[in-house]
């Protein structure tokens, strides 16, 4: 409880945290805010991804465009993505160390009767902060192409900072699960019932952390959801806890900009107020 305003503050409880996912319960917030948080995690968290590919040599069976698309989808370590600029914020003529990272790859198959795999481990980054994600020294990397004797690929890649609403390759999340009201107390879902609702529509695993309705409990027409169950899976470019924290930071920035805009409009006279604000 906020002692100054008398309102209940939002609360976040982490249920599970691993290198690949985080599960948490968010309470005392409106459905619109919880959904906004979900959408921000999916599309507005900045990461680093390969954006331009320059081919010097490609004698593989795959077209340049095919390989370039695969290179763009390789997740790069984006833990320090905030420390470089967006291209639109930089004064350079295309790419520089302030807004981009260069990665080079040169692979040639020279052995007879051997198929050589070209993987993300063959990408050499100019900046050790932004390298292809690897799960360990034994990780073979993400397969890009296969070469036979005499075939060769030599490319230069430019990775840039971006967000997933521009292209999915910049998304830090593999998936974001989002649920509320696992017992359907708010009647937001209408089930098709053949014989037994409990057997045909079993409660989700989040029901164990929710409050089951009583047998004689009356339906509350004014009830609103205020307890939300999240499960965020990362592709490895960022830690799951960093994704959540950056999403909260982004959400607060958006709310602050709206508040500032509203206070600015309130201070204007009718004659000075913009036409589209009426």
* Secondary structure (DSSP) of 194-256: SS-HHHHSPPPGGGGGS-PPPTTPPP-TT----EEEEEEEE-SSS-HHHHHHHHHHHHHHHHH
pTM of the predicted model as reported, rounded to 2 decimal places? 0.82
Q: How distant, in Å, are the alpha carbons of 17, 105, 111, 155 from that of 56? A: 43, 10, 22, 6
Which ranges constitute the DSSP H helices of the chain?
Answer: 31-43, 64-72, 197-200, 240-266
Give the number of C-alpha atoms closer than 13 A to the C-alpha of residue 144, restricted to the C-beta side: 29
CB atoms within 10 A of CB 27: 14
Distance in angstroms (rounded) separating the CA atoms of residues 172 and 152: 31
Q: List, for residues 222-266, the tens digit of each pLDDT value.
A: 889 999 999 999 998 999 999 999 999 999 999 999 888 888 776
Give the per-residue pLDDT at 160: 96
SS3 content of the chain, % helix, strand, coil (to 5): 25, 25, 45
Question: Which residues are 119's β-sheet partners?
Answer: 143
Q: List, for residues 97-156, the tens digit of each pLDDT value.
A: 999 999 999 999 999 999 999 999 999 999 999 999 998 888 999 999 999 999 999 999
Residue 147's SS3 state is strand
Give the per-residue pLDDT at 266: 67
CA-based max dimension of the chain: 81
Backbone φ and ψ for 8, nearest 5 degrees, come out as -85, 130
Give the per-residue pLDDT at 6: 60
Binned at pLDDT 50, 70 and 90, residue 278 comes out as: very low
Q: Which domains does the chain have, with CATH numbers?
A: 11-44+173-262 (3.30.1360.10), 48-163 (2.170.120.12)
Pick 267 or 47 by higher pLDDT. 47
What is the residue-averaged pLDDT of the chain? 89
């Amino acid at each position: 409880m906020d002692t100054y305003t008398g309102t209940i503050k939002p609360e976040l409880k982490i249920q599970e945290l691993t290198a690949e996912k985080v599960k948490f319960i968010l309470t005392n917030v409106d459905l619109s805010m919880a959904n906004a948080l979900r959408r921000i995690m999916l599309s507005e968290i900045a990461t680093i991804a390969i954006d331009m590919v320059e081919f010097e040599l490609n004698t593989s069976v795959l077209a340049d465009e095919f390989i370039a698309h695969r290179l763009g989808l390789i997740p790069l370590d984006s833990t320090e993505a905030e420390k470089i600029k967006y291209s639109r914020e930089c004064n350079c003529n295309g790419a520089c160390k302030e807004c981009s990272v260069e990665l080079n790859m040169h692979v040639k198959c020279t052995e007879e009767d051997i198929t050589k795999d070209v993987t993300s481990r063959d990408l050499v980054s100019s900046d050790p902060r932004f390298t292809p994600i690897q799960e360990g020294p034994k990780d073979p990397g993400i397969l890009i192409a296969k070469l036979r004797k005499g075939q060769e690929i030599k490319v230069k890649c430019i990775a840039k900072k971006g967000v997933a609403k521009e292209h999915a390759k910049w998304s830090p999340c593999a998936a974001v699960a989002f649920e509320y009201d696992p017992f359907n107390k708010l009647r937001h879902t209408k089930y098709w019932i053949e014989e037994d609702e409990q057997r045909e529509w079993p409660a989700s695993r989040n029901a164990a952390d929710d409050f089951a309705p009583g047998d004689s409990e009356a339906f509350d027409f004014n009830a609103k959801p205020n307890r939300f169950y999240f499960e965020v899976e990362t592709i490895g470019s960022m830690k799951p806890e960093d994704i959540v924290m950056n999403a909260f930071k982004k959400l607060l920035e958006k709310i602050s900009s709206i508040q500032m805009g509203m206070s600015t409009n309130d201070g204007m006279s009718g004659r000075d107020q913009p036409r589209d604000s009426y």
